[in-house]
């Protein structure tokens, strides 16, 4: 019985092979095959891809769009935010709200964040790097660490007399940085 089943299978497969290729012997044809050696491993391109942080690129584009003097400090803003566990969009959004990205900051203060500016008191920094570092550290220590992380929560301490417009604007600018 087994030899009969094998014979029928061969005939059956030969029929379909002949129907598809025109050759009676299970689709074999006289086409030649070419073989090539696999490339040596030392010639392979490695998969090391260096990519820039998209947050820096998005921030640079945002700051360039508004012609902000903070544009060259995009990487520093993202690094400082990361260092202190802040959303990297928060500092530029506050700077946009407080000083139109430093264009309306008190002259020679490098204070784009309205940081420590009230009444006749004006806090100044030696440069944007110091300002970014100080504001980031303060936001982390005096706001984030006590649970004030959203613009609405931050506003209650940063600008307590505000009616909500400050948080609305900061959120709007953060959304633009997505």
Is the pLDDT confidence value at 47 over 80? no
The Cα–Cα gap between 173 and 103 comes to: 16
- Domains of the chain, residue spans: 54-176
The overall average pLDDT reported for the chain is 85
> Which of 24-28, 112-116, 161-165, 168-172 is least confident?
24-28
Average pLDDT of 159-174? 95
Burial class, 46, CB count within 10 angstroms (exposed 0-12 / middle 13-18 / buried 19+): exposed
Give dist(CA 44, CA 112) in Å, integer.
50
Phi, psi of 121 (to 5 degrees): -85, 130
Closest by CA to 136, choosing from 161, 154, 117, is 154
pLDDT at position 57 is 95
Predicted confidence band of residue 49 (pLDDT cuts 50, 70, 90): very low
Question: pLDDT per residue over 72-126, tens digit each?
Answer: 999 999 999 999 999 999 999 999 999 999 999 999 999 999 998 888 899 999 9
pLDDT of 40 above 70:
no
> Residue 102: what pLDDT?
95
Task: Out of 3.30.9.10, 1.10.530.10, 2.40.40.20, 1.10.40.50, select the CATH number for domain 54-176.
Answer: 1.10.530.10
pLDDT band at 48 (very low <50, low <70, confident <90, very high): very low
| CA proximity to 110, closest of 82, 79, 73, 144 | 73
Contact 55, 88 (CB under 8 A): yes
């Amino acid at each position: 019985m087994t030899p009969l089943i094998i014979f029928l299978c061969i005939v059956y497969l030969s029929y379909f092979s002949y129907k598809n290729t025109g050759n009676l012997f299970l689709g074999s044809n006289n086409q030649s095959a070419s073989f090539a050696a696999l490339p040596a491993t030392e010639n392979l391109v490695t998969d090391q891809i260096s990519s820039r942080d998209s947050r820096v690129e998005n921030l640079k584009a945002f700051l360039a769009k508004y012609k902000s003097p903070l544009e060259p400090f995009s990487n520093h803003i993202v690094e400082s935010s990361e260092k202190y566990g802040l959303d990297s969009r928060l500092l530029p959004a506050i700077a946009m709200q407080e000083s139109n990205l430093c264009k309306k900051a008190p002259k020679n203060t490098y204070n784009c964040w309205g940081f420590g500016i009230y009444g006749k008191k004006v806090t100044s920094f030696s440069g944007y790097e110091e300002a970014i570092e100080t504001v980031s550290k303060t936001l982390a220590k005096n706001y984030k660490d006590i649970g004030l992380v959203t613009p609405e929560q931050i506003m209650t301490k940063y600008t307590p007399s505000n009616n909500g417009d400050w948080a609305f604007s900061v959120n709007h600018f953060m959304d633009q940085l997505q």
